[in-house]
């Protein structure tokens, strides 16, 4: 029997990309719960692994080794990832406020946001950085080391707090700076009289190792304030510090204080089944939680151990089944890095240090990261044994991409479009064949009309609506017209009425944001149910003078591009789990930005189009064909999104790539990226060299970019790639 996909009926939202949530995502991807829609809210596309942070600071691990790729994990789990901060929780309405977008509704939720080390003392916020959140600290540390190596910053560091974290980081920083060829000055400042968080044997060994590493210790110290260059103490000498790091204790995120969550000293009180005390549908794990049923110190080991129970209990809540209790262990092994490749182990009061222990710790840490970053292969769609001729070859081809990668090829369209007959009449100036149709307005001037829709390239309806709106407006901007109105055309996957309302609300809010910002009004639309999320818009725009077309370019014009290319290969790679999360996040952030200002700056271009499904070369060819010219593209001047080149060179390509290559023949080195289909791509304008220079200067003054990538000459023939 063949079962149809279950309709979506419940929203599960994970706030934060902590270790427990990362492990839940992996488990979810291996066995998704039919009918549940999974959402993850996290500020960044990656989450640093606590266990490897000291090794990263010391220089033993690069950035990629340290980070859990949440974009890839969410793709594997079929979850939408919202890259923003949660700012509030309304449990009465079951809504989570998120910075920069519509609030997210939930039926069941879990929070795993860790802690912060931001300290409440004069000057700390302006001149210091907390050791947590880890990603912020790690970024500041990388910048500091670069400045030290360049000679612009003194290698002087102060660490506030002599707990395990402060001591571990102090030795890592001292080692890293020494390896950079400088003489470091690293001082640990502690309000107490010794190192804390360790037994007697481990404390003695820690003090000895810190002394060997050249780390100075300042005990019984009380800080007056932190400045850009010093930590000023009461009744003690001032500590010189170009970088001050707070590692004294664990502090809850302050935004939790304005919620109605039950808190213990700012941490969320939980019950043995990991639910928030008094709330059957809200869970909390990791350092942000307070396990009053079994108090434990803040340590990543408990979040990792809690993941199995959390995963089970989330599914049980969504399916109405019994929950399990979490029983954290009382004793656990501490493995502490000592700067160089050596580690200190402590358990049951015994302590031992050795390079062999570092190798053991390294093995454990790498095994954990391998589990999260090397994900199981998903089953391939089975091909029937008996199948019509030609169908097997299509099914064996690469999976159909979303966005413009799912469009029909240019060679097919060019064969069909000539058969379209425009309605006779004086108002139709131009029909099919350019970016948009051109109509004469009764009161004077012109109106452009276009329509476009996209198969979802991300799971988030809000993000997808913004991208689809920008993509649809590209045709209006490319003709130098002012956006006027929009009608939506939306296909939702099968879901309950409640999720329909939530999803349509997010799409409408996102679309209105883009259209209003661009000067247009969203005036209605049409919605149906279907197999997958698809969002499109019919848009209009106005212009007093004749709209810009692809037919007006002149010999000697240069080609100016307003956005990098490579979104097609990045989105195709993301779908296959091959792209780096940071690269995917960067391209998505670009795709959702309106190009109103770019269009205004280029309004006097001789010819213009937006780079979308046919790829850069295909749209250059469109200008050449309509203007009866030939083009040279300087491949070295074409900007590419980070990560696109590496993926393309490894053989990754969009499902539309080959069709684009056949549609726009070229001579010279055949670079697949020049044919890569783009979604919400940049504007491509033909204009005189001096005008192009002025446009680039004007764009730069407004924080925008433009690149001259080639020129147009008399004659005809394939595109010359030089």
Predicted local distance difference test score (pLDDT) of residue 667: 66
| Confidence check: pLDDT of 224 > 90 | yes
177 Cβ neighbours under 8 A, 6+ residues apart: 145, 148, 155, 157, 184, 186
Share of the chain above pLDDT 90, in %: 74
pLDDT of amino acid 422? 52
Counting every residue, how long is the chain? 722
Q: Is the pLDDT of residue 582 over 50?
A: yes
Closest CA to 570 of 98, 37, 45, 39: 45
Does the structure show a pLDDT above 80 at 402?
Answer: no
pLDDT, residue 473, reads 97
Q: Is the pLDDT of residue 423 over 90?
A: no
Residue 416 confidence class, pLDDT cut points 50, 70, 90: very low
- Omega cis (within 30) before 352: no
Mean pLDDT for 125-143 is 89
Which is higher by pLDDT, 383 or 153?
153
Residue 297: predicted pLDDT:
75
Is pLDDT at 597 greater than 50 in this prediction? yes
DSSP state of 88: E
State the pLDDT confidence band at 393, using cuts at 50, 70 and 90: low
Query: What is the band of 78 on the pLDDT scale with cuts at 50, 70, 90?
Result: very high
- Answer for the pair 502, 565: CB distance below 8 angstroms, yes or no: no
Q: Which of 549-553, 663-667, 678-682 has the lowest mean pLDDT?
A: 663-667
Q: At what angle do helices 134-150 and 164-179 cross, to 10 degrees?
A: 30
Which domains are assigned to the chain? Answer: 10-115+252-323 (3.50.50.60), 124-246 (3.50.50.60), 435-548 (3.30.1330.10), 550-722 (3.90.650.10)
**Averaged pLDDT, 428-434:** 66
SS3 713: strand
Of the candidates 310, 318, 262, 315, the one whose C-alpha atom is nearest the C-alpha of residue 290 is 262
CB-count exposure of residue 81 (10 Å: 0-12, 13-18, 19+): buried
Q: Is the pLDDT of residue 1 over 50?
A: no
- pLDDT value of position 349: 84
Average pLDDT value for residue range 545-569: 96
pLDDT of residue 419: 52
pTM for this predicted structure:
0.90
User: Which is more confidently placed, 288 or 120?
Assistant: 288
C-alpha distances out from residue 135 to 17, 100, 467, Å: 12, 21, 27
pLDDT reported for residue 55:
94
| Cβ 188 vs Cβ 355: under 8 Å | no
Is 414's pLDDT higher than 60? Answer: no
Q: How confident is the model at residue 89 (pLDDT cuts 50, 70, 90)?
A: very high
Query: Averaged over 35-62, what is the pLDDT?
Result: 94
Most confident region among 101-110, 372-381, 572-581 by mean pLDDT: 101-110
Q: What's the pLDDT at 415?
A: 47
Which pLDDT tens digit goes with each residue over 479-489? 999 999 999 99
pLDDT top residue among 670 and 263: 263
Which pLDDT score, from 0 to 100, does residue 296 have? 80
Higher-confidence residue: 379 or 36? 36
């Amino acid at each position: 029997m063949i079962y149809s996909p279950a309709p979506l009926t419940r929203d599960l939202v994970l706030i934060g990309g902590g270790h427990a949530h990362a492990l839940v995502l992996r488990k979810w991807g291996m066995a998704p719960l039919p009918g549940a829609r999974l959402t993850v809210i996290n500020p960044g596309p990656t989450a640093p692994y606590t266990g490897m942070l000291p090794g990263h600071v010391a220089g033993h691990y690069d950035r990629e080794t340290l980070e859990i790729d949440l974009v890839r994990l969410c793709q594997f789990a079929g979850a939408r990832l919202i890259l923003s901060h949660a700012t509030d929780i309304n449990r009465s309405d079951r809504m989570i406020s998120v910075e920069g977008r519509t609030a997210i509704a939930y039926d069941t939720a879990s929070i795993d946001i860790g802690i912060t080390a931001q300290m409440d003392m004069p000057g700390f916020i302006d001149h210091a950085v907390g050791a947590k959140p880890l990603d912020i600290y790690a970024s500041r540390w990388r910048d500091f080391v670069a400045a030290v190596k360049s000679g612009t910053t003194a290698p002087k560091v102060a660490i506030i707090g002599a707990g395990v974290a402060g001591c571990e980081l102090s030795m890592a920083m001292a080692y890293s700076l020494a390896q950079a060829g400088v003489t470091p000055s690293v001082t640990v400042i502690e309000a107490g009289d010794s190192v804390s968080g360790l037994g007697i044997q481990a404390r003695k060994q820690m003090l000895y190792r810190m002394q060997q590493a050249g780390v100075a210790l300042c005990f019984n110290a009380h800080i007056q304030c932190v400045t850009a260059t010093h930590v000023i103490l009461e009744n003690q000498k001032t500590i010189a510090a170009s970088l001050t790091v707070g590692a004294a204790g664990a502090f809850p995120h302050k935004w939790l204080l304005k919620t109605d969550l039950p808190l213990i000293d700012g941490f969320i009180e939980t019950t043995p089944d990991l639910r928030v005390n008094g709330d059957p549908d809200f869970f909390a794990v990791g350092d942000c939680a307070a396990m009053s049923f079994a108090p434990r110190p803040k340590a990543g080991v408990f979040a990792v151990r809690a993941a199995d129970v959390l995963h089970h209990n989330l599914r049980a809540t969504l399916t109405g089944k019994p929950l399990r209790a979490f029983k954290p262990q009382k004793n656990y092994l501490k493995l502490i890095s000592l700067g160089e490749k050596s580690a200190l182990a402590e358990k049951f009061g015994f302590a031992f240090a050795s390079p062999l222990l570092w190798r053991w710790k390294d093995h454990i840490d790498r095994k954990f990261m391998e589990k999260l970053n090397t994900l199981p292969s998903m089953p391939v769609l089975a091909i029937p044994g008996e199948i019509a001729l030609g169908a097997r070859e299509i099914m064996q081809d690469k999976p159909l991409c979303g966005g413009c990668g799912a469009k029909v090829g240019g060679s097919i369209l060019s064969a069909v479009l000539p058969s379209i007959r425009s309605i006779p009449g004086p108002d139709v100036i131009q029909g099919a064949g350019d970016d948009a149709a051109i109509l004469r307005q009764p009161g004077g001037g012109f109106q452009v009309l276009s329509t476009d829709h996209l198969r979802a390239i991300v799971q988030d309806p809000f993000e997808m609506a913004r991208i689809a709106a920008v993509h649809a407006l590209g045709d209006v901007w490319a003709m130098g017209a002012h956006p006027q109105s929009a009608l939506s055309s939306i296909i939702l996957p099968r879901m309950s009425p409640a999720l329909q309302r939530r999803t349509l609300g997010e799409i409408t809010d996102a679309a209105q944001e883009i259209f209003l910002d661009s000067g247009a009004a969203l005036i209605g639309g049409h919605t149906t149910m279907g197999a997958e999320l698809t969002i499109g818009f019919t848009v209009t725009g106005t212009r007093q003078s004749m709209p810009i077309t692809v037919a007006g370019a002149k010999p000697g014009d240069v080609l100016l591009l307003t956005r990098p290319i490579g979104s097609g290969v990045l989105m195709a790679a993301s779908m296959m789990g091959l792209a780096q999360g940071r690269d995917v996040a960067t391209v998505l952030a670009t795709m959702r930005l309106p190009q109103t200002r770019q269009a205004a700056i280029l309004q006097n271009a001789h010819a213009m189009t937006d780079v979308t499904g046919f790829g850069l070369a295909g749209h250059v060819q469109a200008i050449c064909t309509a203007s009866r010219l030939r083009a040279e593209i300087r491949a070295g001047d074409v900007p590419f999104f980070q990560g696109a080149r590496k993926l393309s060179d490894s053989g990754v390509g969009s499902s539309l790539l080959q069709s684009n290559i056949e549609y726009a023949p070229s001579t010279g080195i055949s670079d697949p990226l020049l044919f890569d289909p783009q979604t919400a791509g940049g504007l491509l304008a033909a204009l005189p060299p001096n005008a192009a220079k002025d446009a680039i200067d004007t764009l730069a003054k407004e924080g925008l970019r433009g690149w001259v990538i080639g020129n147009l000459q008399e004659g005809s023939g394939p595109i010359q790639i030089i």
